[in-house]
Amino acid sequence: MNDQINRRVAVVGLGAMGGAMAATLRRAGWDVTGFDPSEAARAAASEAGIPTTANIADIAGTPYAVLSLPGASIVESTVPHLLAAPGTVAIIDTTTSEPATSKRMAGLAEAQGAAFVDAPVSGGRDGAASGSLSAFVGATATGLSAAEPVLLALTGGKYSHIGGPGSGNVVKLLNNVLAAANLVSVGEALGVAQAYGIDPAKAAASISDASGGSKVSANMYPNWVLTGTHNSGFSLGLMARDAALAVEVAAQIGENPALLAAVAGRWQDALAVLGPRADFTEIARTVAPALTPAGAPNTENGAANGTAAVA
Over 50: is that where the pLDDT of 241 sits?
A: yes
Q: Give the SS3 label for residue 2.
A: coil
**Distance in angstroms (rounded) separating the CA atoms of residues 190 and 184:** 10
Over 70: is that where the pLDDT of 306 sits?
A: no
Q: What is the mean pLDDT of residues 72-77?
A: 97
**Distance in angstroms (rounded) separating the CA atoms of residues 169 and 167:** 5
Let me know how many helices (H) and strands (E) the chain has, helices first.
Answer: 12, 9
Q: What is the mean pLDDT of residues 163-190?
A: 98
Q: Which residues are catalytic?
A: 172
For residues 134 and 162, the answer to whether their CB atoms sit within 8 Å is: no
Query: Residue 214: how many CB atoms within 10 A of its CB?
Result: 17
Mean per-residue pLDDT of the chain: 93
Provide the pLDDT for residue 302. Answer: 43
Query: Residue 176: how many CB atoms within 10 A of its CB?
Result: 22
Q: What is the mean pLDDT of residues 10-24?
A: 96
Q: How far is CA 107 from the centre of its chain?
A: 23
| Burial degree of 47 (CB within 10 A; 0-12, 13-18, 19+) | exposed
Sign of CA dihedral 17, 208, 159, 140: negative
Q: What is the pLDDT of residues 21-45, one digit of tens each?
A: 999 999 999 999 999 999 999 999 9
For residues 198 and 165, the answer to whether their CB atoms sit within 8 Å is: no
Comparing 39 with 300, the larger pLDDT belongs to 39
DSSP state of 235: B
pLDDT tier at 125, thresholds 50, 70, 90: confident
pLDDT tier at 299, thresholds 50, 70, 90: low
Q: What is the pLDDT of residues 178-234, one digit of tens each?
A: 999 999 999 999 999 999 999 999 999 999 999 999 999 999 999 999 999 999 989
Provide the pLDDT for residue 310. Answer: 32
95-118 in b/e burial notation, b at 16+ Cβ within 10 A? bbbbbebbbbbbebbeeeebbbbb
Helix (H), strand (E) at residue 201? helix 200-208
Over 70: is that where the pLDDT of 61 sits?
A: yes
φ/ψ (deg, to 5) at 23: -65, -40
Q: How far is CA 99 from the centre of its chain?
A: 15
Over 50: is that where the pLDDT of 135 sits?
A: yes
Over 60: is that where the pLDDT of 303 sits?
A: no
Over 80: is that where the pLDDT of 300 sits?
A: no
Question: What is the chain's length?
Answer: 311
Q: How far is CA 283 from the centre of its chain?
A: 17
Provide the pLDDT for residue 298. Answer: 84
Over 60: is that where the pLDDT of 59 sits?
A: yes
| Burial degree of 77 (CB within 10 A; 0-12, 13-18, 19+) | exposed
Percentage of the chain beyond pLDDT 70 is 94
Provide the pLDDT for residue 308. Answer: 34
Q: Give the SS3 label for residue 265.
A: helix
178: Cα within 13 Å, side-chain hemisphere? 8
Q: What is the mean pLDDT of residues 161-173?
A: 97
Provide the pLDDT for residue 309. Answer: 33
Provide the pLDDT for residue 233. Answer: 85
Q: Give the SS3 label for residue 21.
A: helix
Domains for the chain: give ranges and CATH numbers: 5-164 (3.40.50.720), 169-291 (1.10.1040.10)
pLDDT tier at 116, thresholds 50, 70, 90: very high
